[in-house]
Homo-oligomer: A and B are copies of this chain.
Amino acid sequence: MASQRGEGETTTTPAEAADKERARAIPEAAVARLAVYLRVLSGMSESGVTAVSSEELSQAAGVNAAKLRKDLSYIGSYGTRGVGYDVEVLVSHIERILGLTRNHSVAVVGIGNLGHALANYGGFPGRGFPVTALFDVDADLVGIPVGGIPVNHIDEITAICREREVSIGVIATPPPAAQSVCDRLVSAGVQCILNFAPVVLQVPDNVEVRKVDLAVEMQILSFHVARRADEAASVSVGNNGLGVDGMVIRP
């Protein structure tokens, strides 16, 4: 899985080496936000904006300006005091930190409702995540192209993932199949998995899993609805001020 970018004798520039050392120290939460900043900056760049202040960028990204500056400081000092940041410079530095200077081949497993949507989605290839393989267990689906890629049978997963150097596996199968699919991806050398099935996957330490769980998202929203409803109720009815165990909740 070495670098596939062959320019120059050395594989990394000094700036890259510096970035990479820094990468270790970037908080997980900041990484997620950097991805958002990158999208906002890309949009600005396309609109012809060349410079931006932390205040403007933080507004557009929906975060605190101080937090944004701290996040950017994790990747280095590329701003100009009194002026702001050069959009292009920031874009290229964030891209490098996020490892977007190389493409990450994506495989989608489970070409049902969700798998179809993902395979058809045009937003990934343009951002460095080409979908290069689709898998399903259903014989009727095998061979049919979805979003331009033919569906392969799940049994071919190891060979094809190796061959196409898949680095991200997306699981969109029913929950009972998810763990087995995950195991197959892992044994095919895939080290990153994005899981849509509402199942907790067991993986070795060297594999990174992120889950997208819509039911959980909705339940969190539900929790906030309930909390809000309570607040309204206790305000209108009158709060006796006593929680359980005599804890005083509100003044």
Q: Which residues of A contact B (CB under 8 A)?
A: 1-4, 7, 10, 12-15, 17-18, 20-24, 26, 28, 31-32, 35-36, 38-40, 60-62, 76-78, 89, 92, 97-100, 104, 106, 113-114, 116-118, 120-121, 123-124, 127-129, 167-168, 191-192, 194, 198, 200-202, 206, 208, 210, 212-231, 233-234, 237, 239-240, 242-250
Contacting residues, chain B, for A17 (C-beta < 8 A): 239-240, 242
| CA of A128 to CA of B218, assembled, Å | 10
Whether A124 pairs with B215 at a CB distance below 8 angstroms is yes
Contact at A219–B100, with CB atoms within 8 Å? yes
Which chain B residues lie closer than 8 Å to A200 at the CB level?
36, 40, 60-62
- CB–CB B221/A208 < 8 A: yes
A99: chain B residues at CB < 8 Å are: 222-223, 225-227, 229
Known: A13-B250, A38-B219. Is A76-B31 also a contact (CB below 8 A)? Answer: no
Q: Which 9 residue pairs are nearest across A and B when measured between Cβ atoms?
A: A99-B226, A113-B117, A192-B221, A35-B219, A62-B200, A20-B230, A35-B216, A21-B243, A99-B222
Residue of B nearest to A7 (CB): B250
Nearest B residue (CB) for A202: B62
A61, closest chain B residue (CB): B200
- For A2, the chain B residues whose CB sits under 8 A away are 244
> Can you name the residue of chain B whose Cβ is closest to the Cβ of A169?
B221
Residue pair B117, A1 in contact (C-beta under 8 Å): no
Known: A194-B214, A230-B20. A220 touches B14 (CB 8 A): no
Closest B residue to A198 by CB, please name it.
Answer: B39
Q: Find chain B residues with CB under 8 A from A240 CB.
A: 17
Q: How far is the CA of A247 from the CA of B96 in the complex (A)?
A: 13
> Are A194's CB and B219's CB within 8 A?
no
